[in-house]
Amino acid sequence: MSAVIEVRNIGKEYKLGAVTTRNLREDIARLFGGKADSSIERVWAVKDISFDVPAGQALGVIGKNGAGKSTLLKILSRVTAPTTGIIRAKGRIASLLEVGTGFHPELTGRENIFLNGAILGMSKAEIRRKLDEIIAFSGVAKYVDTPVKRYSSGMYVRLAFAVAAHLESEILIMDEVLAVGDAEFQKKCLGKMNDVARNEGRTVLFVSHNMAAVTQLCSQAIMLVQGQLAHSGSAESVVNEYLRFNASQVRKAGFSADTAVKAIRFVGVKEVQQEPAVGQMIELEIDVEPQDRGLSLDLYLKNRESIIATASSAYHSNTELIPGKAQTIRCTLGPVNLCLGTYHIDVELVMPKVRQMERYEDAIEFDIDKQPVSNLYHAQLEAGGRFGYWVPQQVWERV
């Protein structure tokens, strides 16, 4: 299948530093004099990235904040020019990079549909043909003749997505703007993008921190690390690599002699057990040596896409930590009633209702490899990445 988007050795360099007060004549003199400006630091937001996207493919772009995802999409959308490399795109591109991109605040929603459509290269007749469908999908029909400056950010993104998704562009580029919408609208958007990619044969580039949404929508994915292409392949394999990478980064900055939390482990009644099983209690022991008074511990249990299944706090059990003393706190949750999959537990040392002191993401990991005994409270991953909240029994005590 021929590539609709070809990216070859793309790089984008930015200059950091103070803005000078030199005039144009001085700048020209320095340029032709070959003098370097030592006050300017240069940084590559993306560097030497190459990949192809075939027609009809949904490609996920993932990476941590600052990895270069948004910069890459801005280059592909022709919002900014690359410093190096070339891009070949066959067909019109519709982009939704920020809430309200291409909207004029003084115009009504209806007027902005025509304005945004014209910016995306659509004819007035084409927009008129899709107008009713766009308004119905957006869910803002009641306010479509109201200036958009009075819209909430959620209404903005509803209308902006509806325009981008329904106009007949061959390529749809989406940044993490769907996070602004509510869960119902996110699910609706993912369904529409699925339809756009699989049934209409259009190409989708999708940036998100919601790994469940990426694996649900995209067949392929790329992962950026510090502005460079680190991995590419099937969406599931790249997401797994991303989760492993994040876990390894956290472990490097984990427990040490300098941290208040020293260790966390699973325990059984008589001996250390590998991991909890369905129907059993989760028993955790946390070794901690706080220096300040009034501190407590919080736990967050989440699935591999970092969606929280449940949370628990020692504060609600009146288990306040003793300052300046090494101690072990046991937390018992359960009985386990989770879907199959890999789970992680985050640990936080907190001053309740004031601030977080220390946080340890993915401090411990376990797998559930048997079906839950019932589905009363079991956590389930639904379309759109929503996660049912598990409400277990909770006991905190000092060992």
Residue 387 · residue 308 · CB < 8 Å: yes
Average pLDDT over residues 315-332: 88
CB 163 within 8 A of CB 116: yes
Q: Are 260 and 326 in contact (CB under 8 A)?
A: no
Mean per-residue pLDDT of the chain: 80
pLDDT at 182: 65
Residue 123: the pLDDT is 85
The end-to-end CA distance of the chain, in Å, is 63
388 Cβ neighbours under 8 A, 6+ residues apart: 309, 377, 378, 379, 380, 382
Question: Best-predicted range by mean pLDDT among 47-61, 82-96, 175-189, 311-325?
Answer: 47-61
pLDDT at res. 376: 39
Q: Do 350 and 356 form a contact (C-beta atoms < 8 A)? A: yes
Of 184 and 119, the one with more pLDDT: 119
- pLDDT for the residue numbered 385: 37
The pLDDT assigned to 304 comes to: 74
The answer to whether the beta carbons of residues 209 and 52 sit under 8 Å apart is no
DSSP state of 387: B
* Residue that wins the pLDDT comparison between 235 and 195: 235
Residue 235 tokens read as 């969406």
Pairing outcome for strands 41-54 and 58-62? unpaired
Position with higher pLDDT, 289 vs 377: 289
Tell me the mean pLDDT in the region 258-285. Answer: 73
Q: How confident is the model at residue 396 (pLDDT cuts 50, 70, 90)?
A: very high
Q: Domain residues of the chain, as ranges? A: 3-240, 261-398
Tell me the CATH architecture of domain 3-240.
3-Layer(aba) Sandwich (3.40)
Q: Give the Cα separation of 359 and 27 in Å (integer).
A: 48
Tell me which residue of 200, 199, 203 sits closest to 218, measured CA to CA: 203
Beta bridge partners of 204: 58, 172
Closest CA to 147 of 112, 118, 199, 174: 112
Fold of 261-398: Coagulation Factor XIII; Chain A, domain 1 (2.70.50)
Strand pairing category for 203-207 and 58-62:
parallel
DSSP annotation of 28? H
Q: Do domains 3-240 and 261-398 have the same CATH topology?
A: no
Sorting pLDDT into bands at 50, 70 and 90, what band is 269? very low
pLDDT at position 7 over 90: yes
Kindly report, residue by residue over 221-232, the tens digit of the pLDDT.
Answer: 999 999 999 999
Distance CA 186, CA 216 (A): 13
Rounded CA-CA distance 77/71 in Å is: 10
Statement: residue 196 has pLDDT above 80:
no
> Out of 69-73, 105-109, 197-201, 355-359, which region has the weakest mean confidence (pLDDT)?
197-201
